[in-house]
Copies of this chain bind each other. A is one copy, B any other.
Amino acid sequence: MCAVEKSKSLIAPQILEILQAENKDQKLRDFFSDMHPYDIFVLCEDLGDAEITECIKALGVPHGIDVFEYFDDDRREEIFNCFSREWMADILEEMDPDDRADFVKFLPKAKREEILPLVARAERLDIKKLIEYKEGTAGSILTTDYAFLPPDITVRDAIEKIKQQAFDRETIYYIYVIDSERKLLGFVTLKDMIVAPSHKMVADIMLRNLISANVNEDKEEVAKKLNDYDFLAIPIVNDLNQLVGIVTVDDVVDVVIEETTEDIYKYGAAGEYIDYLKANSFHVAKQRVIWLMLLVFVGFVSAWVLERNADLIERVVALSFFTTLLLGAGGNAGTQSSTVVIRGMATGSINLSDLQDVIRKELSVGIMVGAFMAVLVSLRALFITHGDPRLGITVGIAMIANVCLATTLGAVLPMMFKKVKLDPALMSGPFITSIVDVFSLLIYFKIAMWVF
């Protein structure tokens, strides 16, 4: 299965051939018949916008729109612009409400105002409502295509109602029970419904103590809730407990991936996530320079420590050969421990209450790792000084002290950040490295002063 991706290069020319043929629409339909929209998307992905437009038109509504929805916003806009205005309205009417709102938000304002009046009233109002929700909230990812029932009908009647709703709902497996004011009363699964005796009332089989989320809740929270409870969908209500939509399980993975990307950018001090290939260089540079500047200021402190020890360096120039090595080792050891601790806190496997455990562990890891590396660098130093042990002793002791300090700071600083409600990911590799640099240099020259 899924040999589709491999045979892609063979199939694209076939599609181009069909597009030249007479009666191409029918031929395209035959060609794509029985294929999943995702597979059609994969096959068409590399075609030109005009060819994709032809394929979508041939597939018609709704099958063609399902394919259209798989493209990303940029590509969708390009393809969208190849359609007539009537088709544009059709597309917007047929798309999934959550996807559609995102896409409309993405379109340039002029385009949006040109097309929206052509869209059927119900869908137009739905779009207007959904694009109002703030980015990052449950509202921004909800869909309004949910199945619902009143409480006071029998299961037999309810199944009939669900059959009628089935065609255009994102899921009919979770069905929400609402009163005449759309207030959320409970929920039934389709499984419960088909198993229940058909004369029972919906109100009698529904689950009343149901989990929901507020429309203004952080979408990450909503995704976490959906995942914790292993739900297929979660109902989203407004402050009056009126059902405004549902968030379905397929959105959870997208939210998790997006959230992790943001975290990873922080680990690398790379600023906010932006669409890298699309953004211009100036914008990228601006994103990054702020963090680099902050780090340079920490670097000034390191430079100052070196400056204060100028006499010593002048006297024993070999000391300066090892600064890079020592700071590098410290920075890397700190990056390792901060990586483990920050990710551990993000996934919930490490909590603030584990602080003492973590410190104890990082100290002993630091001693072991530091001692091992101290032997390596001391031998190297001995080689440079032709047997004079003083440099070797200095860098050896400094290495142990540095690595211990680095592993401990790398773990403690993110936890302290979390404690004071700052994002622990800010205390990742680059910052730990710069901070450790300063202390490492202080320790190194203190030891050197003492030895020489």
Q: Give residues in A with beta carbon < 8 Å to B.
A: 1-2, 34-36, 38, 159, 162-163, 166-167, 172-173, 190-191, 194-195, 207-213, 225, 227-230, 232, 249-250, 252-253, 256-257, 260-261, 264-265, 267-271, 275-277, 281-282, 284-285, 288-289, 291-293, 295-296, 298-300, 302-303, 306-307, 310, 313-314, 317-318, 320-325, 327-329, 331-333, 335-341, 343-344, 347, 349-350, 354, 357-358, 361, 364-365, 368-369, 372-373, 376-377, 380, 384, 428-430, 433-434, 437, 441
Contact = CB atoms under 8 A, between A and B. Distances in A.
B336 A288 contact: yes
Contacts of A159: 194
Given A289-B368, A298-B328, A335-B430, 4 more contacts: A166-B191, A267-B268, A276-B349, A285-B365
A325 B349 contact: no
Contact of A321 (B207, B232, B307, B336): B307
Contact of A314 (B167, B268, B317, B343): B317
A232 B232 contact: yes
A292 B194 contact: no
Nearest to A361: B281
A320 B444 CA distance: 15
A310 B306 contact: no
A350 B275 CA distance: 10
A438 B105 CA distance: 47
A214 to B, nearest CB: 8
A293 B257 contact: no
B302 A328 contact: yes
A299 to B, nearest CB: 4
Contacts of A271: 336
B276 A303 contact: no
Given A269-B335, A377-B296, A380-B300, A163 B369 contact: no
Given A267-B339, A384-B307, A281 B364 contact: yes
Contacts of A329: 292, 295-296, 299
A291 B340 contact: no
Given A296-B376, A349-B277, A268 B303 contact: no
Return the 9 tightest CB-CB contacts between A and B, nearest first: A268-B339, A299-B325, A281-B364, A285-B368, A270-B336, A306-B321, A34-B209, A302-B324, A320-B320
Given A211-B2, A339-B270, A376-B296, A195 B173 contact: no
Nearest to A184: B1
Contact of A288 (B260, B293, B333): B333
A234 B250 CA distance: 14
Nearest to A214: B1
A368 B346 CA distance: 34
A281 B368 contact: yes
A437 to B, nearest CB: 6
Nearest to A190: B190
Contacts of A340: 265, 268, 270, 276
A350 B173 contact: no
Contact of A194 (B194, B281, B300, B328): B194
A369 to B, nearest CB: 5
B289 A306 contact: no
Nearest to A212: B1
Contacts of A281: 361, 364-365, 368
A36 B211 contact: yes
Contact of A335 (B302, B336, B354, B429): B429
A270 B344 CA distance: 13
12 contacts: A1-B212, A35-B209, A166-B191, A270-B340, A271-B336, A276-B350, A285-B369, A289-B369, A292-B329, A299-B325, A313-B320, A335-B430
Given A256-B256, A292-B369, A335-B269, A343 B261 contact: yes
A318 B267 CA distance: 32
B303 A313 contact: no
A253 B256 contact: yes
A20 to B, nearest CB: 26
Given A38-B229, A336-B270, A377-B296, A437 B276 contact: no
